[in-house]
Structure 1
């Protein structure tokens, strides 16, 4: 656990003492006739109740309706006095709301945001009266395939591997009071080879007539590694700190799954000598790279044993029930023998990534897909992906960015230059934002520019999988199709020696599968499941050139019933039996 950790605090990478939890009961209305604006709902209303942060589709919200409602409203009287007095600004933070959010406080329009998977914030100070206000939120969603929607269905019923939609607030809602001069953003870049770390500071509210100082203190446990107080002459600047210390065994502490060491950070902002802001954070010193057809962690080969996790819960949908549930999921992943997880088509609650940092679980962070290629979808997807990468950059557990999956939204990429150019643009944009992690252009098949070649193959048993990959040169040369009629590369692109990972396979259905499905035959007994899993894993481990895998999947999700656990997190098979297969 890190020094500045607070239980249930929604933003563990950027912690302030000032914090007001706004989860809980809110007034709630559907607006199927889009009458709320003209009817003055922005001024507040009394109506049925909903439990935030759960979407109305989930049973945990208190409503539990699967019917599609494209416009929803929330209203609540809020006092912000518990945040303390003394001026400054009151910021309202949305961890996630799907899809287009508009905010009013005391009838005054504050602002809007588009996108369902990244954090956004509003300064509501000037609209408050005596530190209180009527907070009203209007959120519109749709079944449009031009908006990033991940695994949310765009038909009225579930189908294949797409599930119930998520509308409105689905992550934590909270407020904080900040200083006029404050730390707006902290970008932490580990420099493993140099035993150092780079900080990029973004200062908000810096005025030329006032002296702004930034104090940075880096500690490991109780030992101070670095401490510096300096004048900030720009709104954005960077600073490198050496982490070598005589007080630490072996001078520095590195982050890896077996030893997930974390350094604590405190950044303070002073205005004319007076403290105006204090933020607690942390980081891990580690390096992710690809070399000699291998994924490397801290310059050593790292064989990836991952499981795919879509992050759905039976009672609460896309929203984790609580922080403890996320910790239990991570513990179970490790108990099964995996060292990593691919968070599929979803950006998880940030506390999940925090506990992955603390417990040493490797994570692939994946963009939620859109499903049609147009100017609108490209603009929206790119904007939201930038927000996601910036928000989650500092987590050492995240080792890979996955920008597209299985040609979703770019179905003709095999030869469509527009789709190919867009995936390359997103690849290079992501590398510009973060040159320290591998980027995958199109997980599954039909890669363009990609740092890892990731392939999906749902062969039903190990013998079929072995035949599919008996000649990897033909697979990598686009001379042999796999998983139906899919090829490794889009036309015009070729293998350049990247690491190769089987990033989806398995998906064996077992358990209460009435009305559900998996890949291959539905198995009726535990031994048959274990035999198939063992055959598939033995084949993957024996394949030359394969340096990792991702098994489908951690839990059942609605009609897709091929998880190690049921959707309520009960084991189908004892973890130790799966552990023996994964770690063979």
Structure 2
């Protein structure tokens, strides 16, 4: 299935490329765009393989079934058309790759190589074309790509087969909020198995641009890392051109030669207009002013002919901590965040539509928040595009494992590295969170091995991306953390106000046992004046209309009036604190049996939205 929407975005950049900052939200990789691609989502053949016999029975060459599934929705969901949430550890998919798909991907004499992209397949994927093995990937939340040129004939139809393995009982797999019980319980939800993000084709030249990573290089420049696929001819060059608001055609341009033995090129792109300090705020990115700079990156040969070209965008912004402040663009910024599970009743962790991702960002802003914490999930990149474009801060987090072992350490570390690499260019992401509430490091309070892992992954995150603060273990039992984060579900606003009132209250919190009986700092960690944020609080249960029997929250309101009064009192306590520099309310929406959202599961505000916004912001 090839959609016309996959071929054209809105206003074009120079050379016929799409203008990345004004795309329509359908492109699966929003910060590296080409003019053509083929969307393989839609109806596929599908088969459960509960006895794990498909490999020996030859399913890699074609499935013995006519059952259908709608990709990219997981088979546990209603939207998939399968709707079977029980234990099914192995599933198979099949789809034809047609001549129309290849034409839509832009296959041509100039772009002969065909790339098969998967946004995410949970948890381990194996892929075949016409029975020939293509490759495999492990990691349920991160993308992967295969060059399948040698397996495709443009004049023929081909059979694409995918096998996904997701053991529901393997707690070494990073799984986040996916339940290991057959039925969802407590704070965990139904599982996601198999394909849950877009599958797509793209044609590229023999030597092409494979990846871009933008990071700030101070207030006047950005660093760019360009990774190449294939061998670039001798004398090839990378050229970068920056453009803002379709006006400034030449305010940032750099060109460098590609080293002959390297497939990775690093360069710094100066932004001359930022040197006027009085005008610097005219270009910087923030939630209040989400300005995006469009870029074109070209690979040219020694004679200057274009070998490959892509469009991208970046945000000129810095994020850091200093003393007790969280800094955005060098200035203290109060983070007003909401916990977002990224879960929909009909489609689970896959968004029900691309439009739903934009609407999620819009709702977060309409409710009065300037940030969100994506919880235990690596969200679809198209959500991050709308966060970049519409303006919210995002805390990037990894799905946790629930067992500590060498296998769990290897798996989570690899997947987290891939997630950081995928998302490091998004200006909306301002903080990294490799652990949550000691999940997977349950004995970090007193086990040296757990402590070493927490410290190591936190420092590894800084090595991968030195431009953002890192929270070592969100909620409690922190070590080498840039922000001290606390989870506290106290339901009485007056009690919360006392706990976080002043510097004496802060000192008590740091040296004793905090909420839930957990130490805030462990090991050799000390409070050296980092910013402190209340990164989970609230969770007040209220169900307009018919109530679920299994519903729960951390506290329960009698009715809508009581519910908004409780939330207002909690926020008043935060506003009264002399040291809290941010907060994150639990949570954006009701999610299965958790009915503590500000919105119902279908994204309807539980009381008029202006009442919620007034409670959150303290302003009319």
Considering the TM-score relative to the shorter chain, is it more than 0.5?
A: yes
1:97–1:117 CA contact under 8 A, matched in 2:
yes
Structure 2 counterpart SS, 1:448: coil
Q: Report the more deviating stretch, 178-187 or 365-374.
A: 178-187
Question: Are positions 1:364 and 2:395 aligned together?
Answer: yes
- C-alpha deviation, 1:229, in angstroms: 4.0
- Pairing 1:392-407 to 2, within 5 Å after superposition: 392-407=423-438
**1:19 paired residue number:** 37
- C-alpha deviation, 1:53, in angstroms: 0.2
1:468–1:482 CA contact under 8 A, matched in 2:
no
Question: Are positions 1:490 and 2:555 aligned together?
Answer: no
- Pairing 1:43-442 to 2, within 5 Å after superposition: 43-45=61-63, 46-79=65-98, 80-83=102-105, 84-86=107-109, 87-130=111-154, 132-143=157-168, 144-193=170-219, 195-207=220-232, 210-222=234-246, 223-224=248-249, 225-233=251-259, 234-245=262-273, 250=279, 253-271=283-301, 273=303, 274-442=305-473
**2:5 paired residue number:** none
Mapped partners of 2:134, 2:283: distance in 1: 45
2:451–2:523 CA contact under 8 A, matched in 1:
no
**2:14 paired residue number:** none
Give aligned pairs, total: 581
**2:579 paired residue number:** 545
2:177–2:187 CA contact under 8 A, matched in 1:
yes
Mapped partners of 2:265, 2:318: distance in 1: 23
1:476–1:495 CA contact under 8 A, matched in 2:
no
- C-alpha deviation, 1:243, in angstroms: 1.1
- C-alpha deviation, 1:6, in angstroms: 4.5
1:23–1:53 CA contact under 8 A, matched in 2:
yes
Mark the CA change 1:543 to 1:229 in structure 2 (over 3 Å): closer, same or farther: closer
Normalising by structure 2, what TM-score?
0.91
- C-alpha deviation, 1:130, in angstroms: 3.2
Question: Are positions 1:529 and 2:568 aligned together?
Answer: no
Q: Report the more deviating stretch, 248-257 or 174-183.
A: 248-257
Q: Report the more deviating stretch, 466-475 or 138-147.
A: 466-475
Mark the CA change 1:373 to 1:475 in structure 2 (over 3 Å): closer, same or farther: farther
Structure 2 counterpart SS, 1:259: coil
Within the candidate set 593, 601, 609, 1:559 is matched to 593
2:574–2:580 CA contact under 8 A, matched in 1:
yes
Mapped partners of 2:494, 2:380: distance in 1: 39
Structure 1 segments of 4 or more deviating over 6 A?
Answer: 246-249
1:475–1:487 CA contact under 8 A, matched in 2:
no
Mapped partners of 1:250, 1:449: distance in 2: 36
Mapped partners of 2:274, 2:147: distance in 1: 44
Mapped partners of 2:580, 2:335: distance in 1: 10
Q: Report the more deviating stretch, 568-577 or 300-309.
A: 568-577
Q: Report the more deviating stretch, 365-374 or 215-224.
A: 215-224
Mark the CA change 1:229 to 1:436 in structure 2 (over 3 Å): closer, same or farther: closer
**2:56 paired residue number:** 38
Q: Point out where structure 2 has 5 or more consecutive residues left out of the alignment.
A: 1-9, 12-18
Mapped partners of 2:317, 2:435: distance in 1: 25
1:406–1:442 CA contact under 8 A, matched in 2:
yes
Mapped partners of 2:614, 2:197: distance in 1: 36
Normalising by structure 1, what TM-score?
0.96
- C-alpha deviation, 1:553, in angstroms: 0.5
Mark the CA change 1:388 to 1:275 in structure 2 (over 3 Å): closer, same or farther: same
The Cα RMSD (Å) is 1.8
- C-alpha deviation, 1:106, in angstroms: 1.2
Mapped partners of 2:441, 2:421: distance in 1: 24
- C-alpha deviation, 1:207, in angstroms: 4.5
Structure 2 counterpart SS, 1:334: helix
**1:500 paired residue number:** 532
Mapped partners of 1:50, 1:85: distance in 2: 31
- C-alpha deviation, 1:272, in angstroms: 5.3
- C-alpha deviation, 1:159, in angstroms: 1.0
Question: Are positions 1:453 and 2:481 aligned together?
Answer: no
Structure 1 counterpart SS, 2:226: strand
**2:16 paired residue number:** none
2:129–2:158 CA contact under 8 A, matched in 1:
yes
